[in-house]
């Protein structure tokens, strides 16, 4: 009886130890996964409400309007000059000379228009890039202080059932369901706007909402 009991008892002990170890590991892995910090941010919302971004874009629009006014003035001058072609007989030397000059001026004007449009697009891209980098820096600092490992972009905007494009955009949203506590959009936006308002003033080390000041 003793010989039969010992192996059975040992086997049970081994099984219990195995189950206990694996349950403990599973619990540890589950806890570890649950502890991974995740946050959400609405970049579009930030851009629409970012004081610094709006000021930079307004500056670009002002410059673009000034250039457009100059181009419109040149276009009117070119049109007026082209009307002078009617004073000459078709095929005459003056006609050919004036026609060539019109072609030269128009080519120059078209090139200047294309260059102005290219510069406008490039300047807009620089503003977007600069502000996006600022957002990234804030997210890096926030993540380092809170242990957040993943920040996902999402949209707060609700779908409009009467707007097909709005519905389609909602379907493309990578975040289907989330807790509002994960949304750090307002926190990051406040930090960015506070810095924009005080960027030219002498202020103490900046303090981010919810995290201690950087040392």
Give dist(CA 128, CA 53) in Å, integer. 8
Is residue 74 situated within a structural domain? Answer: yes
Q: Is residue 207 part of a domain?
A: no
Structural domains counted in the chain = 1
The reply to whether 11 falls in a domain is no
pTM of the model: 0.67
CB atoms within 10 A of CB 148: 17
Within-domain flag for 214: no
Cα–chain center distance at 1: 76
pLDDT in tens, the chain (215 residues): 444 433 444 343 433 443 344 434 433 333 333 345 999 999 999 999 999 999 999 999 999 999 999 999 999 999 999 999 999 999 999 999 999 999 999 999 999 999 999 999 999 999 999 999 999 999 999 999 999 999 999 988 887 788 788 788 777 777 777 788 899 999 999 999 998 887 645 444 444 444 444 43
Quick one: tokens of 113? 């228009």
In a domain, 211, yes or no: no
Query: 134 lies in a domain?
Result: yes
For residue 193, being part of any structural domain is answered with yes
What domain range is 174 assigned to?
A: 38-197
pLDDT of residue 171: 78
**30 is written with which tokens?**
């589950």
| Residue 71 and residue 113 in contact, taking contact as beta carbons nearer than 8 Å | yes
Residue 211 · residue 141 · CB < 8 Å: yes
Cα–Cα distances in angstroms (integers) from residue 13 to residues 1, 2, 177, in the given order: 18, 16, 45
- What pLDDT is attached to residue 201? 53
Cβ burial, residue 116 (10 Å; 0-12/13-18/19+): middle
| CA distance readout (Å), 53 to 45, 88, 184, 192 | 12, 54, 19, 10
In a domain, 27, yes or no: no
């Amino acid at each position: 009886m003793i010989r039969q009991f010992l192996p059975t008892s040992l086997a049970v002990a081994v099984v219990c130890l195995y189950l206990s170890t694996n349950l403990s590991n599973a619990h540890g892995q589950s806890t570890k996964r649950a502890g991974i910090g995740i946050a959400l941010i609405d970049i579009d919302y930030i851009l629409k409400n970012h004081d610094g971004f709006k000021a930079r874009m307004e500056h670009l629009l002002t410059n673009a309007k000034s250039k457009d006014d100059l181009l419109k003035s040149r276009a009117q001058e070119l049109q007026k000059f082209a009307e002078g072609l009617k004073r000459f007989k078709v095929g005459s030397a003056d006609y050919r000379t004036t026609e060539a000059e019109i072609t030269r001026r128009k080519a120059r004007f078209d090139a200047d228009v294309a260059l102005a449009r290219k510069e406008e697009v490039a300047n807009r891209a620089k503003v977007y890039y600069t502000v996006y980098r600022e957002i990234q820096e804030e997210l890096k600092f926030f993540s380092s202080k809170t242990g957040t490992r993943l920040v996902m972009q999402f949209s707060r905007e609700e779908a409009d059932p009467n707007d097909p494009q709005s519905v389609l955009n909602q379907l493309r949203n990578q975040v289907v369901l989330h807790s509002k506590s994960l949304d750090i959009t307002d926190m990051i936006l406040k930090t960015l706007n506070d810095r924009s308002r005080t960027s030219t003033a002498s202020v103490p080390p900046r303090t981010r909402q919810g995290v201690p000041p950087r040392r």
